[in-house]
Amino acid sequence: MSDPLSPVSLRRMNKLIQLSEKEQPVKVVKNPFLPTRLLDVQASCPSGLRLVITETDPDVCKLDASQRQYAALSYCGGSGDAALKQLKTTRNVLQMHLAEVPLEKAPETVADSIRVCRALGLRYLWVDALCILQGDREDWSKESFQMSNIYENSYLTLCVVQGDSCSSGFLRKDHNPPNVRVKFQSKLDGSISGNITLRMLHPPPATLRRCTKGFGKYSRIDDEPGNSDLESASWGKRGWTFQEDQLAPRKVFFGNLMFHVSRGSKLEAADSSTVEHFRFIDTMGSLQQGLKTWYNMIIDYSERVLSFEQDKFPAIAALARHFSERFEGQRYIAGLWESDIHKGLLWTLTSEWKEFDEYQRLVPKEYTAPSWSWARRPLRLDWVLIGDENPKSELIRSCCLGSS
């Protein structure tokens, strides 16, 4: 199933999405949440694509609650020219995009996600670069606060786990299967000789991918395509994609080998193979268990990469909001929780460095977090007390003072 949009692939994908929906039913409420803006991928304009303001758009307003579904895109925007040149919505072009978004100018990953939505019959799509006003701090502040709602309430999240920028795309694969040419000569008739080319028709096992030039990025010794696709992906190493993966109830992952659909605590691939892929937030029971889960999430998150260290808190703000809504009365303080601050402060670094000066150079010069917060250190973390120990403490006062 190398083409995700072939009739066979689409039937398989739709079946897996339906099974996923049974396991994670869509919440039908009177006024379902919709992001402020969405892309209408079935618009009547020439490109078939335009931006809509959901609160006032007539087509959106006439939909009943069960029809107000949208997909969200989770991808690596990339750095450098690809990210800078990406098609964006700004104040200056907002009115133009409300009339029509030029599809031919969209980066390949965004264009491919639009093709997927059209093939699946999903009319609306949320893409951060086009649905949040770029360069507008007020709009960014407002929309980033809604990030938990955007992913939690999406009908489907498209996770592009191949490629490392918005220009990579994920539908058109130029990869040629590994092949080897073998010389032969007939033992029955010496005049018969030539070359035989052997080519793989199916994804090779990981042990072979490790020693094949075309698959040099893979490191897992595992036969399952899901592990190969996810373990090697830049997407899984980026800070922003962490909360998107955690919050989205239904996901389709587009990997180098094939697509995979989330089903409970596992991913099921196009070829029916499965791998474990659980969400931390599904392990939150009591407050005590929730706090333990929070620390485990931060340990995982601390291994991920952010283009800007100032995004350390914004990139998990949606998870913090989810936690505070689940456990009412919990006060969030610089990546920790007031009721458990005595344990939260006992973080330790597991990364190694040779000299203290080397460690100091890793600490961002610009202000990112209080010195006592784990977020101040761009290194892998662990906690001294993360088990069932429950020492008591009383917080007298907490405050954050800006640096001069």
Residue 253 has pLDDT above 60, yes or no: yes
Q: What value does the mean pLDDT of the chain take?
A: 84
Long-range pairs for 275-279: beta carbons < 8 A, 24 or more residues apart:
275/224, 275/226, 275/227, 275/230, 277/226, 277/230, 279/245, 279/246
**DSSP E strands, 283-354:** 332-333, 336-337, 347-349
| CA-wise closest residue to 269 among 319, 311, 228 | 228
Query: What residue type is assigned to position 4 of the chain?
Result: P
Residue 208 has pLDDT above 70, yes or no: no
d(CA 53, CA 33): 13
Distances (CA, A) of 294 to 182, 290, 322, 386, 398: 55, 6, 11, 10, 20
Using pLDDT thresholds of 50, 70 and 90, give the confidence band for residue 221.
very low
Half-sphere exposure in the Cβ direction for 229 (13 Å, CA): 28
Using pLDDT thresholds of 50, 70 and 90, give the confidence band for residue 162.
confident
d(CA 202, CA 368): 47
Please write the tens of the pLDDT for every residue from 277-315.
888 988 888 999 999 999 999 999 999 988 888 889 999
Using pLDDT thresholds of 50, 70 and 90, give the confidence band for residue 222.
very low
Please write the tens of the pLDDT for every residue from 60-91.
999 888 889 999 999 988 776 767 778 999 99
Distances (CA, A) of 129 to 53, 74, 402: 15, 11, 30
Could you count the other beta carbons within 10 Å of the beta carbon of residue 327?
16
CB 205 within 8 A of CB 44: no
Whole-angstrom distance between the N-terminal and C-terminal Cα of the chain?
A: 58
Distances (CA, A) of 193 to 179, 204, 293, 296, 352: 19, 29, 64, 61, 58
**DSSP E strands, 79-166:** 124-126, 156-160
Using pLDDT thresholds of 50, 70 and 90, give the confidence band for residue 2.
low
Using pLDDT thresholds of 50, 70 and 90, give the confidence band for residue 210.
very low
pLDDT of res. 352: 72
Using pLDDT thresholds of 50, 70 and 90, give the confidence band for residue 178.
low
Structure tokens at 367: 């202000």
Please write the tens of the pLDDT for every residue from 342-375.
899 999 888 776 677 777 777 777 888 898 999 9
pLDDT of res. 195: 87
User: Among 181-185, 265-269, 352-356, where is mean pLDDT lowest?
Assistant: 352-356
Using pLDDT thresholds of 50, 70 and 90, give the confidence band for residue 51.
very high
Q: What is the DSSP string of 152-167?
A: HT-SEEEEE-SSSSTT
Query: What residue type is assigned to position 250 of the chain?
Result: R
